[in-house]
């Protein structure tokens, strides 16, 4: 199985079933949700973690030029929601590099633009208050979001329920378990009659 086949198969599954396949662990805190108010978000890609000071996005600006197609930017913003770390401009720059979404333990802004761009962003909140850009930050090492440790290259999945993280070394095993769980649930649905 190629990496893109594996990611495509994960993207076809509810994130709930992927969480189930990891003993219901490695699911990000429910306070981090899609910032689009309407349904239909789906994100699957490889993590680029960065840890920043609360309310400060210098690290994000430094990491964006290194993003590659299929990457998901994962930001430990210390859970601080008083300032937005990204908005439509940073999202647009990242999209242009092939980045497929953001997960932030922090706030964001320009939510309607993000929805119109159909760019998946999962965050703890929204605020019009912009960020500072002083640092410090830490990149190229693991970062924690919503109590889950995310290593560079881990698989990050998001849908309307929220976000789960699959350690890359376990991806093939978790995929098979999650597909089996999904198939079992589809069978149960048919038995129930919907």
Catalog residues that contact Mg ion under the rule CB under 5 A.
87-89, 110
Q: What would you measure as the largest C-alpha separation in the chain, in angstroms?
A: 58
3-state secondary structure 49-62: EEEECCCECHHHHH
Supply the minimum distance, in Å, between the C-beta of residue 130 and Mg ion: 8
Residues 154 to 193: which contact ligand OAA by CB under 6 A? none
Q: Is the Cβ–Cβ distance between 117 and 160 less than 8 Å?
A: no
**Among 20, 56, 71, 88, which residue interacts with ligand OAA (rule: CB under 6 A)?**
88
Is residue 14 helix, strand or coil? coil
The partner in contact with residue 131, picked from ligand OAA, Mg ion, none with C-beta cut-offs of 5 to 8 angstroms by kind, is ligand OAA
Instruction: Compare residues 109 and 182 and give the one whose CB is closer to ligand OAA.
Output: 109
Burial of 138 (0-12, 13-18, 19+ CB in 10 A): middle
Instruction: Compare residues 87 and 101 and give the one whose CB is closer to Mg ion.
Output: 87
Q: Is the Cβ–Cβ distance between 114 and 69 less than 8 Å?
A: no
**Among 12, 130, 140, 141, which residue interacts with ligand OAA (rule: CB under 6 A)?**
130
Binding site for ligand OAA (CB under 6 A): 57, 86-90, 109-110, 130-131
């Amino acid at each position: 199985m190629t990496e893109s086949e594996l990611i495509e198969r994960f993207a076809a599954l509810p994130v709930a079933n992927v969480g189930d396949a990891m003993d219901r662990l490695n699911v990000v805190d429910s306070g981090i949700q899609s910032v689009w108010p309407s349904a239909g978000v789906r994100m699957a890609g490889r993590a680029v973690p960065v840890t920043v000071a609360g309310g400060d996005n210098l690290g994000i600006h430094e990491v964006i030029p290194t993003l590659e197609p299929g990457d998901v930017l994962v930001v430990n913003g210390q859970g601080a929601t008083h300032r937005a770390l990204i908005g439509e401009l940073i999202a647009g720059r990242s999209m242009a590099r092939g980045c497929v979404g953001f997960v932030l333990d922090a706030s964001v802004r320009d939510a309607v633009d993000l929805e119109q761009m159909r760019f998946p962003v999962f965050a703890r909140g929204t605020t019009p208050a912009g960020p500072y850009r002083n640092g410090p930050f830490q990149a190229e090492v693991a970062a924690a979001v919503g109590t889950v440790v995310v290593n560079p290259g881990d698989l990050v999945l998001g849908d309307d329920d929220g976000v789960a993280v699959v350690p890359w070394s376990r991806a093939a095993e978790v995929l098979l378990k999650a597909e089996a769980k999904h198939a079992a649930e589809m069978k149960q649905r048919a038995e129930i009659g919907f």
